[in-house]
A and B are shown apart, each in its own frame.
Chain A
Amino acid sequence: MITDTNVTLSRWPFRRLDAEETPVLVAQLRQAGVTQAWASSFDALLHRDIGSVNARLADECRRHGSGLLLPFGAVNPKLPDWQEDLRRCAEDFRMAGIRLYPNYHGYALADPVFTELLRLATGYRMAVQIAVSVEDVRTQHPLVRVPLVDLAPLPETVERIPEARVVVLNWWSALRGDKLRPFANATRIYFDIATVEGVEGIARLAERLPPGLILFGTNAPLFSLQSAVLKMQESGLAEATKRLIFETNASGITRRTQP
């Protein structure tokens, strides 16, 4: 089994993508052997009516893929009554998790509202994904410049919420060099591989982070789905490590979080 923890439905605002139609993306995922994909919506980046974004996401995941797609709704804690969006994700749509876009929604992880959101989501037994970026900041549209999320406050925040499970997506540029070190002991913060780079990049990441914290993720369809697949191949990982990254780590998160 392979779980892709980082796919996104609907339209990327700045370019048409070959797999932006859900059935096409589902077919590509199946061809790659993916058996579960955690899906958010590009609409969540800029839309303010997050309630309808999440409703469409849940519906799209139900109509396509026969259970392949697991919806991860969005919550923007800078919107009024965001707690209701979270409640709907948990209770109405019974989502396993949510995906946050702090840089697009204008808050830092040091903001107390993030801690409150993480605490509430954890109370609903939901995993919380944080998209550090969606695209390379160097190539962003000049009118939509979005910085990387600063992850420095995250280990301490997660430490204060014992049952929290956090998945960090598209993070590579934000944690260069020693910046990754504080996360090696943060056992409930996981990292996807969509933006991990370098020769044998995943194998080298597994020397810096416990393999139990690394998740397969593609950032498809914005990224070519084959990128993450081929990076796993280039890295020459042991079978046991591959299994952790492809499946076991992710299923451990949903097992803990789903009711």
Chain B
Amino acid sequence: MLHRRAFLGSAAAGLAYLAHGQQAKFRIWDIHCHLYNTPGDTPEKKMEVLIRCADRLGIERLILSQGYSSALHPTPDQLREENDRVMRAVRAFPDRAFGSVYLSPSHLEFSLAEFDRCVRDGPMVGVGELEADKRCNSPELDPIVERAIAMHAPIVQHTWMKADGNEPGESTPYDLVELAKRHPRANFICAHTGGDWERGIRILREAKNVLAEVAGLDPVSGVVEMAVRELGAERVVYGSDVGGRSFASQAAKVLGAGIPDSAKELVLGGNLRRLFAPALRAKGYPV
């Protein structure tokens, strides 16, 4: 029995090293959080669960978007409802979360008004995750991007390149690079780095105002290493894509990566603080 206890103690020590020793060194901000697929029947209750998990993993800040929805074709009513849910969740934990506005270029006039309501006149500090039935290289994105530039709001754009083909209107990193070239003063975050990250990272190399985000794909070894090698640590950010994913599997890609701690610090939060600092300071939020 003593032997067994000693063994369990040893195992626990190993896990503790991995679980606490690493994370405690970093201020972790998560760029990609949703209320979708999270237990709880209100935004506040769902947020309690997210914060409980974030606390277990040492994650300091969550950037929330899209509310309960993962709809690719949201109506204006859905957009407004989900943005309201995000604002309720953020209000419940103002020291732990920021909001990012959910818009659709298919409803451009509404989206511009919604940006003003939620970002210019409201508490939100970013745009996206943008998932809609128009690819993000479409001209309807331009007025939204101009609004975001004016408010220093970074834009998170969904991208994938699925082996069996994308959904109609689903954007790729190629589309985002095209948009980014039209708006060199805007800051873009390429959600999922296209999923097929070995191609996605290469596509992003030329677009210096686009950061690669590693959320929402399997915790494969090597993704963060390649992104840092090809783009520089200043252009890679951690996100989880909870509740479709866990905080844990996605953070593991960074915490387990063979990169220096200085690079991990940037990827896990330093880059987001740099990127969001103007928008946060403008609203009097701490960075």
Q: Which residues of A are at the interface with B, using a C-beta cutoff of 8 A? A: 1-2, 15-19, 30-35, 135-140, 142, 145, 195, 197-201, 204, 220-227, 229-234, 236, 243, 246
B264 within 8 A of A: no
Q: Please, which residues of chain A bring their CB within 8 A of the CB of B243?
A: 198-199
Given the complex of chains A and B, what is the CA–CA distance between A220 and B219 in angstroms?
10
Contacting residues, chain B, for A204 (C-beta < 8 A): 39
The answer to whether B220 and A224 touch across the interface, beta carbons within 8 angstroms, is yes
Are A233 and B11 interface neighbours, CB within 8 A? Answer: no
Q: When A and B form their complex, which 4 residue pairs have the shortest distance between CB atoms, in order from nearest?
A: A33-B14, A230-B248, A33-B11, A224-B256
Complex interface: chain A residues within 8 A of B37 (CB):
198-199
| Interchain CB contact under 8 A, B245 and A197 | yes
Beyond the given A33-B10, A145-B163, could you list 20 further A-B residue pairs with CB under 8 A, ordered by the A residue number?
A1-B8, A18-B221, A31-B17, A137-B163, A138-B163, A138-B195, A145-B164, A198-B245, A200-B49, A200-B53, A223-B218, A224-B255, A224-B256, A227-B253, A230-B246, A230-B251, A231-B246, A232-B15, A233-B56, A234-B247
Question: B246, A233: Cβ atoms under 8 Å?
Answer: no
User: Are B15 and A33 in contact (CB-based, < 8 A)?
Assistant: yes
In the assembled complex, which residues on chain A have CB atoms less than 8 Å from the CB atom of B221? 17-19, 220-224
Interface core residue of A1, A17, A223, A243 (most chain B CB under 10 Å): A223
Q: Can you list 9 contacts pairing A with B, beta carbon distance less than 8 Å?
A: A2-B11, A15-B198, A145-B163, A145-B164, A223-B252, A224-B256, A226-B255, A227-B252, A231-B249
Contact A224 B15 (CB under 8 A): no
Using known A-B contacts A17-B222, A138-B163, A199-B37, determine if residue A31 contacts B18 with beta carbons closer than 8 Å.
Answer: yes
A236, B56: Cβ atoms closer than 8 Å: yes
| Distance of A33 Cα from B7 Cα, bound (Å) | 9
Contacts of A220 in B (CB 8 A): 221
- Shortest CB-to-CB span from B132 to chain A, Å, is 20
For the complex, is B258 an interface residue (Cβ under 8 Å from A)? Answer: yes
**A230, B18: Cβ atoms closer than 8 Å:** yes
A231–B56 contact, CB under 8 A? no
Q: Which residues of B contact A223 (CB under 8 A)?
A: 218-221, 252
A233 touches B225 (CB 8 A): no
B122 adjacent to chain A (CB < 8 Å): no
Max count, chain B CB within 10 A of own CB: residue among A35, A135, A233, A243: A233
Q: Interface code B216-243, partner A: CB below 8 Å = 1, 0 otherwise?
A: 0111111001000000000000000011
Shortest CB distance A68–B (Å):
12
Q: Is the interface of A mostly helix, strand, loop or mixed?
A: loop
B15 contacts A32, C-beta separation under 8 Å: yes
Interface string of B18-62 (1 = CB under 8 A from A): 110010000000000000011100000000011011001100000
Most chain A CB neighbours (cut-off 10 Å) among B15, B245, B253: B15
**Smallest distance from the beta carbon of A49 to chain B beta carbons, Å?**
27
Return A171 CB to nearest CB of chain B, in Å.
Answer: 13
Q: Are B163 and A227 in contact (CB under 8 A)?
A: no
Q: How long is the Cα–Cα vector from A31 to B17 in the complex, in angstroms? A: 8
Give the shortest distance, in Å, between A115 (CB) and chain B (any CB). 30
Q: Known: A33-B14, A198-B245, A199-B243. Contact between A230 and B218, CB under 8 A?
A: no
Contacts of B255 in A (CB 8 A): 224, 226, 230
Residues of B231-287 contacting chain A, CB below 8 A: 242-249, 251-253, 255-258
Q: Considering only CB atoms, which chain A residue lies closest to B225 in the complex?
A: A18
Question: In the complex, which residues of chain B have a beta carbon less than 8 angstroms from the beta carbon of A233?
Answer: 15, 19, 56-57, 248
Residues of B within 8 A of A139 (CB): 163, 195-197, 217-218
Q: How far is the CA of A253 from the CA of B282 in the complex (A)?
A: 59
Which among B57, B247, B248 has the highest number of chain A CB atoms within 10 Å?
B248
Structural contact, A33 and B196, CB atoms closer than 8 A: no
Shortest beta-carbon distance from B170 to chain A in Å: 12
